[in-house]
Homo-oligomer: A and B are copies of this chain.
Amino acid sequence: MRESLRESRKRELKEEIFLQALRLFKERGYENVTVEDITTACGIAKGTFYNYFPKKEHVLLHLGQGQIEILRESVARHTRVRNVRKRLKLIFKDLLTRIDREPDLLKATIIEILRSSLLVEEELQLIAEFELLLTPLFEEAVAAGQVSARWDPRQLSSFLVGTYYYALFSWLANPAQADVVALFHTHLDMLWGGIAAEGGKD
């Protein structure tokens, strides 16, 4: 069943809007680009934008969706690394190093991902998808005796995703710090080994 003219145009136009929007966001910053700027750059009318993205911010969520794909591939690629802690470091390195050097765009994206997770009930729940993809890793780690059976793998996965976003967040809030990958590794080490002193009574 071939793709009809309509269907192909639909895909292509959405992609075109997305690319033009990203280009403009990078050039001028998310807040300084109007929807009309985007549509003018595409040679279409303003209303058409809303046939493809329900809100301006959905361009950013679409961008975030791309990270989910990277995560999925990365999870699949590293299954042979038996040590789950090391595997997680490899996976998150994949995610974090692919972040291009557009901190302002990244800031706006993170804000929108967080906002949609809190305020929107719909299906586009990036964070939830993220957690779901990592849960099996923790199930495996618990089964292999690498991680304490004391905690629910879903909770572990959730906390790790929180740690990931927090590392990203801290780095964006204060880019003078060490690079993101190092920051995330530090946080992961804190979490893995615990922060209590050896032999501390509590």
Contacts and interface: CB of A to CB of B under 8 A. Distances in A.
Contacts of A110: 118
Given A159-B166, A159-B187, A146 B202 contact: yes
Interface in A95-125: 107-108, 110-111, 114-115, 117-119
A18 B155 CA distance: 38
**Interface of A, helix, strand, loop or mixed by DSSP:** helix
A118 B172 contact: yes
Nearest to A85: B202
Interface stretch (A4-12, A51-59, A70-78, A193-201): A193-201
Interface residues of A, number: 46
A195 B111 contact: no
A170 B165 CA distance: 13
B173 A117 contact: yes
A65 interface: no
Interface string A22-39: 000000000000000000
Contacts of A146: 196-197, 200-202
